[in-house]
Structures are given as structure tokens and as C-alpha cells.
């Protein structure tokens, strides 16, 4: 069965010669914005890859000119209570944690924008290769929101975490490399080739070696408190969304076009670099 026949918003393709697969977020007209269908289909494809003895490594990327612009801000019901947000944040966080938990290595191949929830998805992957035109950031703080899965403090120095999370600024690939958001930068026209070379390398490794190495690395983060920190963040962001300002921002989103909303959100910060 073809990937297109199985999924609506992603492509799932196994390599013809090596034991790796690729998940491609396939909403290029929306800059691969992630709605619930995208999140659930990534989770479904991830489970298929993990269960397949012919898949030893996985790549996640985006179609077109973006990895993903983050969670889809259009089409949702935002006049909701804290219980809704707690459940919503919890589902999203669990799907991203499933990437982190996967017993096979997962590579993020980043073309263009990796923003907000998509940046968290990228950080839940084991490794990240970025095109030289990639942009990274957590701009949702500017509209009184935050990420459901707060992986950033587990990867970056606290000063860099605070800068990205407090300002909503975007950084380029060179700055992302300095911060250890990514492992490597490659020319945009070589991204697919270099990512697949890494996937082939990992797919040819002894499978138990990577499985147990990943489990040991993850265990260090768990012992240090990663899972309770995620749960705290879910509660914090759910509460944030039902504050007075949170409800005001959600009301603006409901009545504005996305273009108007982003201009309204980012307007006060122009020329402040």
C-alpha cells in the first residue's frame, strides 16, 4: 500500500537499499503546520517503524520550504477551559516523547523553518542536521503561549534557553549549531544526501548497541527529572492559556486572519534586535 493511501498529512517511505525509513510532514502549502492529524499520523508512522524489523533508523523532515512552522493556529476552538488545554498539551507532549523514547535513532532533517512545537519535535529527535537556510525559534511566547514539551532545557545552556524562550527571536543555523540545537549544517541542496548518509550509517550499526546506548542516555535524563518536568510544563502552559491575557490572545486568533494575527503579534518587536 502506498504511503499516500495510508496517511493524509505525512509520507512514510522505507529506503530501497538500507534499513531506514523517512517520515515527511506533507502540508507544504501550510509550511507543514502541525494539526492533530499530523501529530497522530507521525505517532502512527513512528510506531510502524519501531515495530518493523527492517527499520533500524528513522528520519523526520518536511516537504517544501519548511521543516514545520509549528502547531497549526487555524481552525481550532480556543474558547475552552483548563481541562481542555491540559488534555491537549498532554496528548501533544506524549506524541513527542514517543519520538524520544523510540528504541531506534531518529534524525531530524531540517529545511527552512523549525518553529515552536516543531522545534520541540526536532529536539526530541536524537540527532539534527540542518540546511544552511534553516531558522529556529519559539515565537509562541509573543502570543502568550508556550511549548507542550519543554525539551530545550535538557539540550541547551540555561542562558540560551532563556533567550529563546523569553524573546521569541529566531536564530539561524550557525547560531543553532553554537547553541547545540543541531549537530551539523550542510548546504541546502545537500541536505537529503547528507541526512540519508547518516541514516545509512546508523542503520548499519549493530541494532542492540544503539538500542541500549539510547536507553542509557535517556535514563540519565529520566533520573534527573525529565518526565516530571514535562508534566509541570503541561500544567503551566494549560494555566497560561486560561489567564485573562491568554483568553484575549485566543480571541484575537479567532477573529483575525493568520497573516493579520502574526503581524499584530510580531509588530511591537520590529527593529529591536
Query: Maximum distance among all alpha carbons in the chain?
Result: 55
Placement of cell 518493523 in the chain: 52
Contact 93, 150 (CB under 8 A): no
d(CA 180, CA 7): 33
Closest by CA to 142, choosing from 63, 64, 73, is 73
Closest by CA to 128, choosing from 146, 150, 147, 155, is 155
Which H/E stretch holds residue 57? Answer: strand 57-62
- Residue 168 φ/ψ, nearest 5 degrees: 70, 10
Q: Are strands 106-110 and 113-115 parallel, antiparallel or unpaired?
A: unpaired
Contact 237, 141 (CB under 8 A): no
d(CA 108, CA 95): 15
Q: Is 140 a catalytic residue?
A: yes
Contact 110, 128 (CB under 8 A): yes
Which H/E stretch holds residue 113? Answer: strand 113-115
Catalytic entry in 41, 138, 140, 196: 140
Catalytic entry in 120, 174, 193, 235: 120
Q: Which three cell numbers stand for residue 118?
A: 516543531
Active site positions, annotated: 120, 140
Amino acid at each position: 500500500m502506498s504511503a499516500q493511501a495510508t496517511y493524509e498529512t505525512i509520507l512514510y517511505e522505507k529506503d530501497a537499499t538500507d534499513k531506514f525509513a523517512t517520515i515527511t510532514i506533507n502540508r507544504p502549502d501550510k509550511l507543514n503546520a502541525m494539526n492533530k492529524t499530523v501529530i497522530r499520523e507521525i505517532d502512527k508512522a513512528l510506531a510502524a517503524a519501531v515495530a518493523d524489523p527492517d527499520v533500524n533508523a528513522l528520519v523526520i523532515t518536511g516537504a517544501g520550504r519548511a521543516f514545520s512552522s509549528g502547531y497549526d493556529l487555524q481552525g481550532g476552538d480556543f474558547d475552552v477551559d483548563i481541562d481542555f488545554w491540559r488534555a491537549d498539551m498532554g496528548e501533544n507532549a506524549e506524541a513527542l516523547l514517543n519520538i524520544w523514547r523510540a528504541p531506534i535513532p531518529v534524525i531530524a532533517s531540517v529545511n527552512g523553518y523549525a518553529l515552536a512545537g516543531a522545534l520541540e519535535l526536532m529536539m526530541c529527535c536524537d540527532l539534527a542536521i540542518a540546511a544552511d537556510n534553516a531558522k529556529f525559534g519559539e515565537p509562541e511566547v509573543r502570543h502568550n503561549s508556550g511549548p507542550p514539551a519543554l525539551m530545550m532545557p535538557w539540550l541547551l545552556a540555561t542562558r540560551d534557553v532563556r533567550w529563546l524562550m523569553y524573546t521569541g527571536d529566531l536564530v539561524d543555523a550557525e547560531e543553532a549549531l553554537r547553541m547545540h540545537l543541531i549537530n551539523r549544517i550542510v548546504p541546502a541542496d545537500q541536505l537529503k544526501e547528507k541526512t540519508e548518509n547518516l541514516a545509512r550509517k546508523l542503520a548499519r550499526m549493530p541494532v542492540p548497541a544503539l538500542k541500549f546506548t539510547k536507553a542509557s542516555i535517556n535514563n540519565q535524563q529520566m533520573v534527573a527529572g525529565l518526565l516530571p518536568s514535562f508534566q509541570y510544563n503541561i500544567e503551566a502552559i494549560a494555566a497560561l492559556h486560561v489567564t485573562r491575557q491568554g483568553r484575549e490572545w485566543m480571541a484575537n486568533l479567532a477573529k483575525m486572519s493568520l497573516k493579520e494575527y502574526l503581524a499584530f503579534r510580531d509588530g511591537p518587536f520590529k527593529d529591536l534586535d
